[in-house]
Amino acid sequence: MTHPSSYDAALLQQARQLGTSTLHEASGLAGSSVDPAIRPVWPGAAVAGPAYPLECSPGDNLAIHIAMERAPRGSVLVVSTGGFVAGYWGEVLTVAAEAAGVAGLVIDGGVRDIAALAARRFPVFSRGISMRGTIKASAPSVGKPIGFAGTPVAPGDLVLADDDGVLVLPAARVADTLAQGQRRADKEAAMMQALQEGRSTLELMGLTQWRDAR
């Protein structure tokens, strides 16, 4: 199965290196940042890939099981649950995801089996952690555009997640955002070199009029 938007390995690596904060600033899209309450479940987790969005009913993870058969390899599952925290995902689904080539999970609900997820180094970003299990009775939406905690997500959008949070870039804006992000990163690298040489942030940012402010 092909994805509506494919991203080559070099582009995904560049996105991970630039990071969510730089690319959010570069995008100019206020709505591209996901609710900051959605955090990595183990430190250092990071993932970049095309979104595969789906929606679960509260306390029901059937849609995830369906998505596991439909999602193209390399996808990041973006799962809306309406903010209901339960154990929608654990070690069994992680093993299934690895076998299916799913790159990572972003969910506005909960996950469990955290020690196993960390040991397997599978990137998971969630609103919470919960030992409470789920039923399998309904699947409101699989592979279609959704609203994810207030952020619109369509299949093939670029999802980037790291320790700073989760970013969703519309597919049509990815190339321009990465180019702008690289320019921003290069400028910041030059600034940090100047700081190491003894210059100040007030000077470098054109804020010297505030030096004597009280």
Q: Identify the residue whose tokens are 């959704």.
A: 146
Phi, psi values for residue 8, rounded to 5°: -75, 170
- Token pair of 107 as six digits: 């969910």
Interaxial angle between packed helices 62-70 and 91-100, expressed in degrees from 0 to 180 and rounded to the nearest 10: 20
- Token pair of 89 as six digits: 């995902």
If DSSP codes are grouped into helix, strand and coil, which group holds residue 110? strand
202 labelled binding-site residue: no
113 labelled binding-site residue: yes
91 labelled binding-site residue: yes
Q: Identify the residue whose tokens are 């995008």.
A: 27
The span from the CA of 103 to the CA of 94, in Å, is: 10
| Start-to-end CA span in the chain (Å) | 62
Residue 88 contacts residue 63 (beta carbons within 8 Å) = no
Read off the amino acid at residue 95: V
188 labelled binding-site residue: no
Torsion of CA 161, 162, 165, 170, to 10 degrees: -30
128 labelled binding-site residue: no
The span from the CA of 214 to the CA of 212, in Å, is: 6
Binding residues for substrate: 90-93, 112
Binding residues: 90-93, 112-113
Binding residues for Mg(2+): 113
